[in-house]
């Protein structure tokens, strides 16, 4: 497998709708394997073909790992999805805000509102039809990658313009928030000094 180069903004290919896949040949299989390798090397959870300069309706997604009772990652517990020519056929009215990043916009994170659950139809790597009912984090990543295939980036869907941060600024903000919450807990649990009789 070969690691491919990930294109970043302002590459024009990221803003174009990708072409449908019509040939499920050996060349496509090699491309899919190379995309999986590229996504994993980059520590990503999804990768769409336009991100490696290919105008094809193709994306790779890997779920978060399952964890044991002590929150340790269980080896080989991620689900890998290869979706070809995907489309969202239903989305819930329930929406949730979440923090997203993108391998094609390195160093930035933003808050994006998306439907909590979706249904997706697609084809697998060999052209067979697939149906998915997705919710939560996995539904978010599917939506993010399908957006890529339509020339849409997460920065186009921010909850507000100011809700885009550098990774460094975001983690500093989260750290400050946690420290503030910890201080609040300490104040609540502090035992008041008994009043002295005068």
Is residue 194 predicted with pLDDT exceeding 50? no
Q: How confident is the model at residue 63 (pLDDT cuts 50, 70, 90)?
A: confident
Mean pLDDT value of segment 19-45: 97
pLDDT digits (tens, 9 = 90+) for 150-159: 999 999 999 9
Given the residues 70, 73, 145, 182, the one annotated as active site: 145
**Cα angle 170, 173, 178; round to 5:** 125
* pLDDT at 185 (0 to 100): 63
Q: How confident is the model at residue 47 (pLDDT cuts 50, 70, 90)?
A: very high
* pLDDT at 191 (0 to 100): 47
Mean pLDDT value of segment 40-48: 96
Is residue 198 predicted with pLDDT exceeding 50? no
Mean pLDDT value of segment 96-109: 97
Is residue 196 predicted with pLDDT exceeding 70? no
Domains and CATH numbers, the chain: 12-65+76-188 (3.90.45.10)
Active site residue 145: yes
């Amino acid at each position: 497998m070969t690691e491919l180069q990930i294109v970043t903004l302002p590459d024009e290919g990221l803003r174009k709708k990708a072409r449908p896949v019509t040939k499920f040949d050996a060349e496509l299989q090699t491309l899919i394997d190379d995309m999986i390798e590229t996504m994993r090397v980059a520590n990503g959870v999804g990768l769409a073909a336009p991100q490696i300069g290919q105008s094809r309706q193709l994306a790779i997604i890997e779920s978060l790992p399952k964890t044991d009772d002590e929150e340790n990652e269980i080896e080989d517990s991620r689900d890998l999805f290869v979706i070809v020519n995907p489309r969202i056929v239903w989305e819930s009215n329930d929406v949730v805000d979440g923090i997203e990043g993108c391998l094609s916009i390195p160093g930035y994170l933003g808050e994006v509102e998306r439907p909590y659950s979706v249904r997706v139809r697609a084809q697998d790597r060999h052209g067979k039809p697939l149906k998915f009912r997705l919710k939560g984090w996995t539904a978010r990543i599917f939506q993010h990658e399908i957006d890529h295939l339509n020339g849409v980036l997460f920065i186009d869907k921010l909850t507000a313009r100011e809700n885009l941060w550098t990774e460094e600024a975001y983690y500093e903000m989260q750290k400050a928030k946690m420290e503030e919450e910890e201080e609040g807990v300490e104040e609540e649990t502090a035992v008041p000094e008994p009043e002295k009789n005068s």
